[in-house]
A = this chain, B = another copy of it.
Amino acid sequence: MAKVKKQPRPKAETPKGFRDYFGAEVTQRKAMLDKISEVYQLYGFDALESSAVETVEALGKFLPDVDRPNEGVFAWQEDEADWLALRYDLTAPLARVYAQYRNDLPTPYRRYAMGPVWRNEKPGPGRFRQFYQCDADTVGAPSVAADAEICAMLADTLEAVGIERGDYIVRVNNRKVLNGVMEVAGLSGDDKVDERGIVLRAIDKLDRLGPDGVRSLLGEGRKDESGDFTKGADLNSSTIDHILRFATASQDILQQVMKVATGGLQHVENTFGLENARKFTDAQIAWNSIALQQLRSLIGESEVGLEGVAELETMAELLAAQGYGPDRIVIDPSVVRGLGYYTGPVYEAELTFEIKDEKGRPRQFGSVAGGGRYDDLVKRFTGQEVPATGVSIGVDRLLAALHAKGRLGKDTVGPVIVTVMDRARMAEYQSIVGELRAAGIRAEVYLGNPKNFGNQLKYADKRNAPIAIIEGSDEAERGVLQVKDLVLGAKIAETATHEEWKDQPAQREVARGDLVSEVKKMLG
């Protein structure tokens, strides 16, 4: 009806946990995603953009995801019909899409996807309820060649966006190896699901808690600094020893392998001397076979465990054939990956350079991407097992890393601002700006209230404008324009003496006909 209900003024606020992205925040992310999709395309992956909305049923809200018991989705009910929900990741929709279109899609189906996902979680500082993911998955390829390919692609992707070789490492493990270790430790029964969950999460925290912390979690539990208590797996001490031997297998060597990868041989040589550096390099080259040997010794006769080790070995071979050695992609038994649905290889990309934390202490940047093989997701729909493997890049974290390394392009250059000295001359200002744009120069006429000229220059400053153009009736009569170099002007204002300022004026007169060429020259 036509009557408008009188309401109190609405609050102009983003909902809690959501945010807006402005200017360079949008274009820098876009530039990064463009580079990523180029690599994905190069590897033969095709774009997919699935609906943001799924039925709750298809989304698999009830996936047994032991790591995220409290995470929910944003859902609502259609008028007396299905419940719909916003996707919470890009993998569940892929499983639905593949099941729905499997007769039309090529098999294997290599696809990439990038876009927002939504989580109905308690928002916190830096923790948002809408964020970007960027995934690549191969569906219908049973061979670990598919997993190896994704690890190689992940390494290429990181380099393509600006993370240099040595600043990242892709760490690979295999859930079957973990399951083999569990088997040997007597934790393979159906009644041990909870314990296995605790063990996986404990290993995952090795980096942060160290071996003693993990030991507590495998045993009676652990009280953290704040006094909170985390329930342990209550394993006996020999089982705990066995698991710890596995999780920390060759961590020392791995540390050094990664130091070589990170700092380069020269760095290691400077720090440890030539002789030791050689040893480390040898260790690095030999690393994957050392690791495989150690793993074999820990899984004994476990069939699934042996299968896992064999798969890791195949992956290492395939990767080596393409030149991806342990300086880029390394076998690391401590990689777990939280998600319950992984069934084979798991992998994650870690950035190894240091940044300062909130308290100014140096710490490693950490993980920016991860994934693995999940052979059961499509089965939910079709009843048939469809092998699949894929990676998800944490877009915001990777952007933050590029920011920390100074690898992001500068903010978009602001437009050239044509100021308004004389409102009656607006048509002329429009024609100036038209000429500039025709020459490919970002430009605009000031469209606010032109009365106060100072406001126009303040506006130009806020827009990060490189140049302001001024044409009053005096200039118009003489067929000239004033061109003000705002970048130079700011520099002069900061540093120059009055004399210098006179010699190198930031503002000069230009013939009307020379405007475009002069502006081009000034912009370089």
Contact = CB atoms under 8 A, between A and B. Distances in A.
A442 B45 CA distance: 9
Given A15-B53, A49-B26, A58-B13, A106 B20 contact: no
A53 B118 contact: yes
A108 B58 contact: no
Interface string A45-88: 01111111111011010101010000000111000001010100
A148 interface: yes
Nearest to A324: B434
A430 B118 contact: no
Contacts of A270: none
Interface string A89-112: 000000011011100001110100
Contacts of A54: 14-15
Contact of A427 (B15, B118, B317): B317
Contacts of A126: none
Contacts of A441: 42
Given A4-B62, A149-B445, A383-B9, A434 B322 contact: yes
Given A140-B448, A317-B427, A321-B428, A51 B20 contact: yes
A437 B42 contact: yes
Interface in A260-312: none
A74 B64 contact: no
B318 A426 contact: yes
A138 B459 CA distance: 14
A415 interface: yes
A156 to B, nearest CB: 8
A249 interface: no
B64 A96 contact: no
Interface string A107-124: 110100000101000000
Prevailing SS type, chain A contact patch: mixed
A364 interface: no
Contact of A44 (B75, B428, B442): B442
Interface string A125-156: 00001100000001011110110110010001
Contacts of A4: 62, 64
A7 interface: yes
Contacts of A100: 12-14
A360 to B, nearest CB: 28
Interface string A180-204: 0000000000000110010000000
B318 A141 contact: no
A47 B22 contact: yes
Contacts of A380: 9-10
A445 B145 contact: yes
A101, A437, A459 pick with most chain B CB within 10 angstroms? A437
A41 interface: yes
Contacts of A143: 426, 447
A463 interface: yes
Interface string A493-524: 00000000000000000000000000000000
Given A51-B18, A106-B459, A427 B10 contact: no
Contacts of A96: 12-14
A52 B130 contact: yes
A44 B321 contact: no
29 contacts: A2-B194, A5-B62, A10-B60, A10-B380, A10-B381, A11-B57, A12-B58, A12-B381, A14-B96, A14-B100, A15-B53, A15-B84, A20-B51, A22-B46, A22-B47, A41-B442, A43-B415, A44-B415, A86-B86, A107-B459, A108-B447, A138-B447, A143-B426, A145-B445, A149-B444, A152-B434, A320-B427, A321-B430, A321-B431
Given A18-B53, A21-B48, 16 more contacts: A4-B64, A9-B382, A12-B96, A12-B381, A14-B96, A18-B51, A44-B415, A44-B442, A44-B444, A44-B463, A53-B74, A106-B459, A107-B448, A108-B448, A110-B444, A145-B430
